[in-house]
Amino acid sequence: MRQLISGANKHFTPSELLRVGGATITVTELTEIMQRFVDNKDAIATQRAALAARIQAERVAAPSQLAVIRAFETVVRGAFGDAADALADFGLTPPKPRSPMTAEATAVAVAKRAATREARHTMGKNQRLPLRRGTSGIRRRFALRAASAASP
């Protein structure tokens, strides 16, 4: 755009009339329109750079600020407990009371846990015991104690 302005000023006289877009305007008016366009673009670029700098500063400062805010929220909840009126003054809501699971939900949870253990081959301590090397279901330390107690 700047080159268009420069070329128009170089090759046309300022008062020369040009037919542009169905209208007749002078070269001076045309260059003013183009210059306002350039000025707007420059202003936007400056504002974008300033915004990017502010966003970066916010990203750097936010974690420490959020830590302080969360700590203050914990202090407020500790001081006022479940008092809805007092918590509302801070914009907080009291925690929802935990409701017991229904029989259907419990059955589904048990089935999911069993399916997960089966899929991942998860075993408890006693289930793993027969799989250990060198044992036949009895822990080795107990076998050694029995053997040492039997010897004279």
pLDDT in tens, 37-47: 999 999 999 99
Note the pLDDT of residue 151: 54
Amino acid letter, residue 74: T
Q: How far apart are CA 84 and CA 57, in angstroms?
A: 36
Tokens of 108: 């589904």
- Cα dist from 119 to 46, 62, 113, 124, whole Å: 57, 42, 10, 14
Q: How far apart are CA 101 and CA 99, in angstroms?
A: 6
Tokens of 121: 């081959």
Q: pLDDT below 50 — which residues of the chain?
A: none
Note the pLDDT of residue 1: 85
Q: How far apart are CA 90 and CA 138, in angstroms?
A: 61
Confirm if 30 and 16 have CB atoms less than 8 A apart: no
Length of the chain, please? Answer: 152
Rg (C-alpha) for the chain, rounded Å, is 39
- Cα dist from 32 to 4, 5, 6, 28, 114, whole Å: 12, 9, 12, 6, 77
Note the pLDDT of residue 148: 54
pLDDT in tens, 112-144: 999 999 898 888 888 877 777 655 555 555 555
